[in-house]
Amino acid sequence: MKRYNFPKKKDWEEILKRPAGSVQEIEPLVLEIFSDVKLNGDAAVKKYTKTFDKAEIADSRINKSEIDQAVHALDPKLKEAIALARQNIEKFHRAQVTAPVRIETSDGVMCWQEKRPVQKVGLYIPGGTAPLFSTLLMLAIPAKIAGCEEIILCTPPDANGNINPAILYAADLCGVSSIFKIGGIQAIAAMTFGTETILKVDKIFGPGNQYVTVAKQLATKFGAAIDMPAGPSELLVLADDTANASFVASDLLSQAEHGTDSQVILLSTSQAFLNAVELQIEEQIAVLPRKEIAAVAISNSRLILCENEEIAMDLVNDYAPEHLIIAAGKKDFYLKNIKNAGSVFIGNYTPESAGDYASGTNHTLPTHGFARNYSGVNLDSFLKAITFQEITKKGLQNIGKAIEIMAEAEGLQAHKHAVTIRLRNIDKDEEI
């Protein structure tokens, strides 16, 4: 890990730079694949599946027998663990259900808001070096609670054309409508445009590598909404001498093993603590099965010594981390001043892994600094808020004059007339 002692604010942008390619570098490839999938549908999807995933797929749709095999093959202990995670995730997201908001803004003017589900949603679940069945729980569970009519899943196959059984089990458990063996840019394109077998969706959810992230962003140009830009994983830990160095090192490595493009950062006001964590990383990484991946991510990561808590907090907000762990003595100060973060983990016994799997909060979070302007996935991500209003004759009389004056001031005479004609009708009725 690269170390920086008391870096100047003017250098923060360079120090905190993410190890990812730019949109400009990736966009041409994404647009090429989008165009091909839009024009050639399933044939194009199969072609890119062979090119990128090295798998020849005759039928991309998962059938019931494949699901049944996965359910049968899965370790019972893993099923129990998934059941616990599902229970907690469901509890947390059901608690987010809100009642309609109804208010009479003026006498005779009734306004209200109700939430309705997004009808057709597409879930993207990365496969790659780690099949993220946990992400499926995070997306499918709130989608079902919201009442989405169609929930389709795209996830990349292995070279033999198979999907990890845990992903299939979780999909079946959560009531996913259709499952497809499709990954990468081509999956996002298929859900954006629709193909002969894949439904065109209204909104696309799920994390992925930088190619998937750019594909999702470009999908918005073609009518699909997305949850947020969610790319390579990242973690920032803010810790001091009150923290446990071995715990912090394990948290940093837990994110580093996601992929070579992951980034982890440790901020501290203690030089001795940074030294202790660095030693722990060296010790713990040596025994990791995914140490080669973690080592590359660690090389892109940072140890930063800050002069005081205020500077450390400013740096956190400037970076806007996907995951933020606070393991420091002045916890209340940090919690009060957090402005930008996807999800926050507090104290020595709150590992980021808890949020990844089973605490109940959603782990689909904004990366690459998008925590400045995006929330993580929640129940509202699968809902639309629709406003309603109903106005009586008396109500229109109460607000009509204001509408006429405002419309006149904006030069929108038809707007004014739509009110005036009604007010005149009311006056006639009252004369009678």
Active-site residue, 323 included: yes
For the chain, the residue count is 432
Are the C-beta atoms of 70 and 358 separated by less than 8 Å? no
Active-site residue, 56 included: no
Distances in whole angstroms, Cα of residue 50 to Cα of each of 38, 153, 371: 18, 19, 35
Among 323, 352, 415, 430, the active-site one is 323
Are the C-beta atoms of 153 and 175 separated by less than 8 Å? no
Tell the residue number behind the tokens 């499709």, with chain if given.
Answer: 182
Cβ neighbours around 178 below 10 Å, total: 17
Q: Burial letters for 326-337: b for 16+ Cβ neighbours within 10 Å, e otherwise?
A: bbbebeeebeee
Distances in whole angstroms, Cα of residue 238 to Cα of each of 83, 282, 327, 363, 429: 32, 19, 6, 19, 70
Q: Beta strand pairing status for 323-327 and 225-226?
A: unpaired
Single out the residue of 371, 375, 429 nearest to residue 397, CA to CA: 429
DSSP letter string, 219-234: HGGGT-EES----S-E
DSSP letter string, 185-222: HHHHHHHHH--SSS---SEEE----HHHHHHHHHHGGG
Distance of CA 26 to the CA centre of its chain: 20
Among 322, 363, 368, 417, the active-site one is 322
| 324 token code pair | 């933020």
Are the C-beta atoms of 393 and 419 separated by less than 8 Å? no
* CA angle centred on 32, ends 31 and 34, rounded to 5°: 60
Single out the residue of 47, 28, 51 nearest to residue 37, CA to CA: 47
Distances in whole angstroms, Cα of residue 45 to Cα of each of 30, 36, 215: 13, 9, 14
Cβ neighbours around 58 below 10 Å, total: 6
Residues catalogued as catalytic: 322-323
